């Protein structure tokens, strides 16, 4: 299920805030919808990203999909392991499948995101 300590963006990304840093990944719903992930185009460290903008792309065996930034800020770390093992995003989207760490520009953006129960409802609506 969607962990309670995360915040969720409507484009199916999540953030986990710790101080000024936010770890970002795709949700379980997203990985399920994409199917087997075969490649990820990671953002570059130091890149400035804006909320709602594309920060990377994911290719699965059936689709390519943009990764949308759930918050604005600067990329300070990326999950290099995904380059070799993109399938980790399928296996553990909220853990080892994290994509990047963003240094937050504006903490209030996080408050605008959905919490776990809101996101779960949102996804149920989307499936209907």
Residues that bind other proteins (CB under 8 A): 39, 41, 57, 59-64
**Residue closer to other proteins (CB basis): 6 or 27:** 27
Beta strands (DSSP E) in 5-127 are: 7-9, 13-18, 21-26, 37-41, 48-49, 54-60, 64-68, 73-78, 100-104
**Residue closer to other proteins (CB basis): 42 or 69:** 42
Q: How far is the CB of 89 from other proteins (least distance, A)?
A: 16
**Residue closer to other proteins (CB basis): 22 or 37:** 37
d(CA 77, CA 63) in angstroms, rounded, equals 26
**Residue closer to other proteins (CB basis): 1 or 127:** 127
Q: Are strands 37-41 and 7-9 parallel, antiparallel or unpaired?
A: unpaired
Q: How far is the CB of 51 from other proteins (least distance, A)?
A: 22
Q: How far is the CB of 41 from other proteins (least distance, A)?
A: 6
Q: Are strands 37-41 and 54-60 parallel, antiparallel or unpaired?
A: antiparallel
Q: How far is the CB of 101 from other proteins (least distance, A)?
A: 21
Mention every residue, 6+ apart, whose C-beta is less than 8 A from residue 126. none
């Amino acid at each position: 299920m969607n962990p309670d300590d995360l915040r969720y963006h409507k484009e199916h990304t999540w953030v986990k805030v710790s101080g000024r840093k936010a770890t970002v990944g795709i949700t379980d719903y997203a990985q399920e919808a994409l199917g087997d992930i075969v490649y990820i185009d990671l953002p570059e460290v130091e890149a400035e990203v804006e909320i709602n903008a594309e920060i990377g792309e994911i290719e699965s065996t059936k689709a390519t999909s943009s990764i949308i930034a759930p918050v604005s800020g600067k990329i300070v770390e990326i999950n290099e392991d995904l380059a070799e093992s993109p399938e980790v995003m399928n296996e553990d989207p909220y853990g080892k499948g994290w994509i990047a760490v963003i240094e937050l520009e504006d903490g209030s953006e996080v408050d605008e995101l959905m919490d776990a129960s809101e996101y779960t409802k949102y996804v149920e609506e989307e499936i209907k």
